[in-house]
A and B are shown apart, each in its own frame.
Chain A
Amino acid sequence: MAELQKDPITRGDFLGFGILGAISGAILTIPPVAFVLSPVIKTNVLGQTDIDQGWQRVATIKDLKELKPGTPDVFEVEFPIEQVYSDKEIQEKFPDSQKSQSDFTVRHAVWISWKAPVKQQGTQGSGGDILGEPEKPAIVDQKSSGFTQSERDEIRGQLNILSNSCAHLGCPVRWFPDKHEFLCPCHGGLYDINGGYVGGPPPRGMYNYTQAEVREDGTLYIKHGYDIEPGLNKQQPYVV
């Protein structure tokens, strides 16, 4: 082996290393990081969402008529999403191509039930709210279409529209008819019929769909969006 040759580093060399290193380093780090983090930038910084913000139909008046008080029923809603596949652009640019004829959707299970009046607000460790009997607005059974604005608001006000995603770790919750509670199968989170917290590890009650409306023909529509406290937004676990 030859002896090691340790030439001195001149100021010019040092400067050269600095400038060249900075250029290559910047090219090789900043764009890749932004590339990988772009979903974070889009959703957390710019506040965009992948989920279509339009109204989606949940249940018809017939479904609502059949919805018994005290028994939640599950409905499937498909929210179109725009993520990676860019179906929309392809359909606009190349309408005749066989690519992406259908929108990609994410299917949500939505628990719908008639609200039970809260007789007494639950306190910490009390095992949830004390509830009365769930009531079904009489108007639902009387009419089949042509609901007025006040009737529509009344129906909407009496409906629980809950996500099936457990507030603890997002497992799909299910209804236990004999216990009259929602149970999360993962870690045993319990919720009452209104989605209020009853017991177990979840930090809060079930997620409500906040934007919902009943139309003239009695059909229920919702938009994607939950009752997530804005103050906790950054730490609030999102519903997957």
Chain B
Amino acid sequence: MIGRMRSQTEEASKFIVDWMEHRTGIVTQLEHFLYEPVPKRGAWVYTLGSAVLGLIVVQFLTGILLLFYYVPSTDHAWNSVNYIMNEAYFGQLVRGIHYWSANFLLAMIGLHMAQVFFAGGYKAPRELNWVVGVVLLLLVIGLAFTGYLLRWDQDGFWASVVGMKIGSYSPFVGGYVINFLLGGDVAGPATLSRFFALHVWLLPAAIAPFIGIHLYLLRRHGVFGSEFEYSERLAKLHERQRLEEYAGYELDDDDEDEAERNGRSNGRGE
């Protein structure tokens, strides 16, 4: 009885897998994705990048959740955040995760960048992935800046005022920059709407494809950590080179020396 059920389930699952594979090719894709060989040494170092990815996903999820209650208007933005914090079930947790994972995200990005820089991970053929990474960094900084104002509390408001005023010092375009950010010439409803649009729609929409490119390029060229992953192979290479060098000396002991000397003197003569 159990044996028959087992075989039936097996057949059914095999059928589903085959069916999906035939229609979408997803099974092969998954195999490629899951079973790619990656360096065994330094695996903990490479969790930095995945941590960044995970935290960004958390940002997306909790951000969408917060939008269920948040009201982007100067009259009610603060009130709605207050409601999330005090009234909504687990509101404190959802907003807390959004807030704290943003902080961890910035820290993790810093560590991730430092690791890639000091390991030389930006070298050919991975230059473009570094460039995409810098774009992602700028987008995340933009998100961090625009998100701060949305609470419409003293902290967020004044930090944004300072930030916008910094923008106003841009050479040649300062006046345009600040009026663009303000949505006019005073910090008011238009400013909040703008920051909301940037934080919730424009920047996340921009960041998503760049994350995709970053991951695609990573998979295309593989992670490159540091020379310590290759220490055995490098040792073998150096050993072989050394042996070849010795072999060279031993083989052409006299003749080569003679030829070399002649060559040199010829060279000098010319």
A and B touch in the complex (CB under 8 A): yes
- Contacting chain B: which of A149-157, A168-176, A214-222? A168-176
- Contacting chain B: which of A2-10, A64-72, A78-86, A134-142? A78-86
Within the complex, what minimum Cβ distance (angstroms) separates B267 from chain A?
54
Report whether A238 and B168 are in contact in the complex, using a CB–CB cutoff of 8 Å: yes
- Contacting chain A: which of B10-18, B118-126, B178-186? B178-186
Report whether B184 and A42 are in contact in the complex, using a CB–CB cutoff of 8 Å: yes
10 additional A-B pairs beyond A172-B158, A238-B168, beta carbons within 8 Å, are: A50-B186, A83-B186, A169-B162, A234-B174, A237-B165, A237-B168, A238-B175, A240-B161, A240-B165, A240-B187
- Contacting chain A: which of B91-99, B188-196, B234-242? B188-196
Indicate which residue in A50, A81, A170 contacts B165 across the interface (CB closer than 8 Å).
Answer: A170
Residues of B within 8 A of A (CB): 74, 158, 161-162, 164-166, 168-169, 171-172, 174-176, 178-180, 182-190, 193
Report whether B179 and A44 are in contact in the complex, using a CB–CB cutoff of 8 Å: yes
Report whether B166 and A235 are in contact in the complex, using a CB–CB cutoff of 8 Å: no
Complex formed: what's the CA distance from A36 to B169 in Å?
Answer: 21
Residues of A within 8 A of B (CB): 36-37, 39-40, 42-44, 49-51, 79, 81, 83-85, 104, 106, 168-172, 186, 233-238, 240
17 residue pairs bridging A and B, Cβ less than 8 Å apart: A39-B179, A40-B179, A44-B179, A51-B185, A51-B186, A85-B189, A104-B188, A169-B162, A169-B165, A169-B166, A172-B158, A235-B171, A235-B172, A236-B174, A238-B175, A238-B178, A238-B179
Chain B neighbourhood of A106, CB < 8 A: 186-188
Total A-B contacts with CB atoms under 8 angstroms apart: 95
The SS class assigned to the A binding surface is loop
Within the complex, what minimum Cβ distance (angstroms) separates B199 from chain A?
15
Report whether B184 and A50 are in contact in the complex, using a CB–CB cutoff of 8 Å: yes
Report whether A39 and B180 are in contact in the complex, using a CB–CB cutoff of 8 Å: yes
Complex formed: what's the CA distance from A50 to B178 in Å?
Answer: 14
Within the complex, what minimum Cβ distance (angstroms) separates B248 from chain A?
49
Report whether A240 and B171 are in contact in the complex, using a CB–CB cutoff of 8 Å: no
Name B187's closest neighbour in chain A (CB-CB). A240
